[in-house]
Structure 1
Amino acid sequence: MDYLKTLQEQVDSMVMGTVATLPSIAVALVVVAITWLAARLASRIATRIVEKTGIRNDLKQLFRTFARLGVWITGLLIAAAVVMPGLTPASLVAGLGVGALAIGFAFQDIFENFLAGVLILLRDKMQIGDVIEAEGILGKVEKITLRETHIRQLSGELTILPNSMIFKNPVKIVTDIALRRNELVVGVSYDTDLPMAEATIRKAVESVEEVASDRAVEIYAQEFGASSIDFTVRWWADSRLHDFLGVKSKVVFAIKRALDDAKIEIPYPHVTHTYAGLPPAAGQENQPT
């Protein structure tokens, strides 16, 4: 057998086949270019349509993505049919059936994040602009795509989480409702008139403008501390209009000022120092740390 002659015939056959398909490849490239233009046009049309509706911004993005995706799938199928005239929907389904398992394993994470992104965009909760806590990350949702979610942390850093992590794990939506409750512990000395202290603290908290006036301020005497009787103070504020920590700071200022004006002491614990098991020196028994 003349191996060189057989190899040459095979190469010539491949070259002739490639030359014969060049016109089809050129037409397919033209179809791809037209598909690219059509996808941009479809995105603009979808944008104009959804802008006239009252749906959320993230859903508008989802519809634009599906419009582009639908045009691209159609265009690529037409281009494949031009290059391979024998390609039919039945043969395409059969081919996908053969390779679906391998493709599924290879792109499992991509498909999972894509499907999770669609489901996240379709549900009502967790919209763009919400402050959420997911996987230990607290921040504002800046962008939701079909693959990932962009979260701007309150300290300024941008964190990108795969959609599957957000969809499969618990997510705390901090701004689901406008009003949020905050609290702090206030200690007063043991010789304080407790009803007077409670009234003073309540009046101080209610004087803060950012505290919601339609929600009652809650004050509870909780326990006998080492050097004080502790009150738990709770109030509500609109977290979308006001800085959550800023409101708490104003409440602390108001309570401190009111207790000082009422001559109510906020004690601090006194610690007795010992050194190497020896008793404290004279005059050091009640020195603060």
Structure 2
Amino acid sequence: MRLICILLLMFSSWVWANTEETSAAPPDQKPAAITQIKTLNTELKELLSESKTSTGSAQNVVSLQLINKNEELREVIADLVNRSKQDDETIKPYHSFVLEQVNYQVKFIEEAIVFLTKKVNADEQKLDTLGDEQKLLTQKKVQEIRSYIQRLLSQQWTNYHWLADLGIDTSKQKNALVNNIEHKLEYLSASLTFNSQQEQTLNKQLKAATESEKGSLQLLHILSERQLASDLTNMQAFIKLADQMSVDTADYKKQIFEQTGNVTNDLLNVAVLLSIVRNNLEDLSHWVVDNAPQMLFKLFVFIIIIAVFRILKNITSKMVKKAVSSPNLRMSQLMQEFFVSMSGKGVFCIGLLIALSQIGLDLTPILTGFGVAGVIIGFALQDTLSNFASGMMLLIYRPFDVGDFVEAGGVSGKVSHMSLVSTTIKTFDNQILIVPNSKIWGDTIKNVTHERVRRVDMIFGIGYSDDLELAEKVFNDIIDEHPMVLRQPEKTIKLHTLNTSSVDYIVRPWVKTEDYWDVYWDVTREVKRRFDEVGLSIPFPQQDVHLHVADAEAASLAKVKRD
């Protein structure tokens, strides 16, 4: 922070010295932005004077104010450059003034980068001669300076764009800056590889070290971890800057992914994915060439393991099927199929992983790829996963099973097949409907055939003038004579309602679930036939109309007839 303060003090005094030499503005009224720049320069000058008499934390506060003021100055300059690019007539007379301000920024950043780079190199050379605690402090200091250099490089790229907008050719400066960034990325890539190997080596040594050796090794490991973290942070920052310059950073992004394993938006970049695939293919080809004598043997072992586990898969599936089919467990058909399928597939997946490890493949990238693919597939198949979750709930709570007649998801019919994603229902007119499980689980489920016995609810009406005892005898005889009607639970035959046109009886026999409709249709037909035999009527709605003629109207009609 103190070093940055010194740079800002240098910049402030240098800018104001040059600002005073700027040619006087035209006599007409100045734009507000021009006046604001001069005001900011005055405020920066006052802060500079105040910083010369400040010490300690007070000087840091003043330096922070200088940073903020300079950011405000750059915002105003950016606004002026944009207006000049749009041919704003009010800015044209001040074109040279704006150009001078941008040049001040360019020159300051050039000098600042040179100064800070020398400082970083000097501090890094001192690291080997410093004590352990001083190394940690110096590392932190170096990282802060590097972060500020990256910030200055980004501002310099903006400065070159400003100059280009003001009509100055900056192609050479831009190319030089791009080359500088590419060089830094190459250096950071090599440093990241070296420090990663160093950290892994120290980590292995630390695990095998004795108690007396762990103290020094732990400190070296901490230093190595911080250096590795610093390299990662710097590379990510330079990659972001290089992307602004249209520099190809696919290999560096791949290196960061391989180092950290973090899934970022960069992985969706085609170039990065191709680089990862290309790198893996190259590693695979080198591995094949170097291990050709052992490859056939490992391939043979791979095939043997796969064959053995296929046999184990079939054995496991049969054992699990026999176990879950036990009547004591009372598992649904879907649950039985689920356990049988998952047990076999689980055994085979374990065998596949063992076989892959035997041929020398590193399973870490494969599992990482599965994780990335799982995230992408999860977002793409949200509805399918919802159906899967609903299928699991149906599996656990078992509201119905294959072969049941149900009303669910707005349809009714016989369940012909069930999976964890959908349920296939065959309607009564032999149509096949495939209903998503989320729609079934999110609605009312009516299982018609879940119970072994059902009650048949029927209502029959007789006329008000018919014999009640005779009607009840007919109902009892019909129900008692039917072979499919159960004796237990007992039937119910009661006079239910005195309706407008009929006296209604409820007739409710109990039957096996599979005999429901046969009994319903048979009893209805038999009631009609018996009523016709014994003379009982089945009333239907009717209306009698009675005409009453008044006496006066009758006399008038009689007179008309006599005449």
Query: TM-score, length-normalised on structure 1?
Result: 0.71
Deviations 1:23-78 (A, max 9, x none): 799979x9599658835751443224432550544333112211233135435655
What does 1:102-117 align with in structure 2 at a 5 Å threshold?
Answer: 102-117=376-391
- Structure 2 match to 1:47: 318
Matching residue's letter, 1:232: I
- Structure 1 match to 2:408: 134
Is residue 399–residue 445 contact of structure 2 (8 Å, CA) maintained in 1? no
Q: Size of the alignment, in residue pairs?
A: 260
Provide closer, same or farther for how the CA distance between residues 16 and 188 of structure 1 changes in structure 2, counting only shifts above 3 A: closer
Provide closer, same or farther for how the CA distance between residues 36 and 214 of structure 1 changes in structure 2, counting only shifts above 3 A: same
What does 1:209-224 align with in structure 2 at a 5 Å threshold?
Answer: 209-224=483-498
- Structure 1 match to 2:532: 260
Matching residue's letter, 2:525: F
Provide closer, same or farther for how the CA distance between residues 62 and 13 of structure 1 changes in structure 2, counting only shifts above 3 A: closer
Q: Quick one: distance in 2 between partners of 1:22 and 1:210?
A: 75
Report deviation, 1:191: 0.5
Q: Quick one: distance in 2 between partners of 1:41 and 1:95?
A: 25
What does 1:1-289 align with in structure 2 at a 5 Å threshold?
Answer: 16-17=282-283, 19-20=285-286, 35=306, 38-39=309-310, 41-52=312-323, 53-54=325-326, 55=329, 56=331, 57-74=333-350, 77=353, 85-88=361-364, 92=367, 96=371, 101-240=375-514, 242=515, 244-270=516-542
The range that moved more, 192-201 or 115-124, is: 115-124
Provide closer, same or farther for how the CA distance between residues 16 and 50 of structure 1 changes in structure 2, counting only shifts above 3 A: closer
Matching residue's letter, 1:212: L
Provide closer, same or farther for how the CA distance between residues 32 and 193 of structure 1 changes in structure 2, counting only shifts above 3 A: farther
Q: Quick one: distance in 2 between partners of 1:194 and 1:239?
A: 31
Larger helix proportion of the pair: 2
Is residue 121–residue 144 contact of structure 1 (8 Å, CA) maintained in 2? no
Is residue 133–residue 139 contact of structure 1 (8 Å, CA) maintained in 2? yes
Q: Quick one: distance in 1 between partners of 2:322 and 2:334?
A: 12
Gapped regions of structure 1 (runs ≥ 5): 2-9, 274-289
CA RMSD of aligned residues (A): 3.9
| 2:464 aligned counterpart, secondary structure | coil
Higher relative contact order (CA 8 A, sep 6+): 1
Report deviation, 1:238: 0.4
| 1:219 aligned counterpart, secondary structure | strand
- Structure 2 match to 1:277: none
- Structure with larger Rg: 2
Q: Quick one: distance in 2 between partners of 1:43 and 1:15?
A: 35
| 1:170 aligned counterpart, secondary structure | coil
Provide closer, same or farther for how the CA distance between residues 228 and 94 of structure 1 changes in structure 2, counting only shifts above 3 A: same
Is residue 189–residue 228 contact of structure 1 (8 Å, CA) maintained in 2? yes
Q: Quick one: distance in 2 between partners of 1:36 and 1:168?
A: 43
Deviations 1:95-134 (A, max 9, x none): 83x6765443222233333333333234354122222111
Larger strand proportion of the pair: 1
| 1:180 aligned counterpart, secondary structure | strand
Is residue 189–residue 267 contact of structure 1 (8 Å, CA) maintained in 2? yes
Q: Quick one: distance in 2 between partners of 1:238 and 1:47?
A: 34
